């Protein structure tokens, strides 16, 4: 199995690059943001609780997202590998993921950290908000709250994987194709 984490602040291109990478490398895409939005669309109790938190730009409790990822791993063990997008987002989530993967006799191979300026992040998300229907995309205050939450809780995830030398920094300010090409070169190096 080959397992990747795509890591970076809101709007850094995790979802965009994930779509291209899963197609090229035949990986299973696991996005906690997408899983939570499915719960919201289905109006489940979990979805209703999550929506209130997401609309404030805050993080959903660790146990909720860890439970969702655990189930998704269990249901997809035939996959060639996993691409984690938007997970893990805290040190507790990182430790839980490592344990879950160990139980499956696999591990994270590489963490790509996408680095994009805050000005560009806000511009991208506001632009997407014109059509995405995501309530957390439409208001600059909420977008800024998401970025603050990232610096407060999520940037620690890079430090966690740094201790195992698994983090590769990627300049994420270029075009979608430029960044995709850099990611592919890095993955091909890891695979060879």
Binding positions for ligand AP5, rule: CB under 6 A: 8, 10-16, 32-33, 36, 53-54, 57-60, 65, 86-87, 89, 93, 124-125, 128, 136, 146, 175-176, 179
Quote the least distance from Cβ 26 to ligand AP5, whole Å. 20
Q: Which is nearer to ligand AP5, 3 or 12 (CB)?
A: 12
CA–CA separation, 12 and 171 (whole Å)? 10
- Rounded to the nearest 5 percent, the helix, strand and coil shares of the chain are 60, 10, 30
The residue sitting closest to ligand AP5, measured at its beta carbon, is 33
Residue 99 CA, chain-centre distance (Å), reads 18
DSSP single-letter state for residue 43:
T
CB of 147 to ligand AP5, least distance (A): 9
Cβ proximity to ligand AP5, 142 vs 165, nearer residue = 142
Using the minimum distance from each CB to ligand AP5, give the nearer residue, 60 or 187: 60
What minimum distance in Å lies between the beta carbon of 42 and ligand AP5?
16
As a whole number of angstroms, the distance between CA 120 and CA 118 comes to: 5
Query: What whole-number distance in Å separates Cα of residue 80 and Cα of residue 69?
Result: 17
CB of 108 to ligand AP5, least distance (A): 15
CB 90 within 8 A of CB 59: yes
Number of other residues whose CB lies within 10 A of the CB of residue 160? 19
Nearer to ligand AP5 by Cβ, of 63 and 188: the residue is 63
User: Which of 115, 188 has the CB closer to ligand AP5?
Assistant: 115
Q: C-alpha angle 22/26/30, rounded to 5°?
A: 50
Q: How far is the CB of 76 from ligand AP5 (least distance, A)?
A: 17
């Amino acid at each position: 199995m080959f397992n990747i984490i795509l890591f970076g602040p809101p709007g850094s291109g995790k979802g965009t690059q994930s779509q291209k990478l899963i197609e090229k490398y035949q990986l299973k895409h696991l996005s906690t943001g997408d899983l939570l939005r499915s719960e919201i669309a289905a109006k489940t109790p979990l979805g209703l609780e999550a929506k209130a938190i997401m609309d404030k730009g805050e993080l959903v409790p660790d146990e909720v997202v860890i439970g969702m990822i655990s189930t998704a791993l269990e249901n997809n063990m035939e996959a060639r590998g996993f691409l984690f997008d938007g997970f893990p987002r805290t040190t507790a989530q990182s430790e839980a993921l490592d344990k879950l993967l160990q139980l499956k006799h696999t591990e994270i191979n590489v963490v790509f950290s996408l680095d994009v300026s805050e000005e560009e992040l806000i511009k991208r998300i506001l632009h997407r908000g014109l059509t995405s229907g995501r309530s957390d995309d439409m208001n600059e205050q909420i977008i800024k709250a998401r970025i603050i939450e990232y610096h407060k809780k999520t940037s620690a995830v890079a430090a966690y994987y740094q201790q195992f030398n698994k983090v590769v920094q990627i300049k994420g300010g270029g075009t979608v194709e430029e960044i995709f090409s850099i990611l592919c070169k890095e993955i091909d190096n890891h695979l060879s």
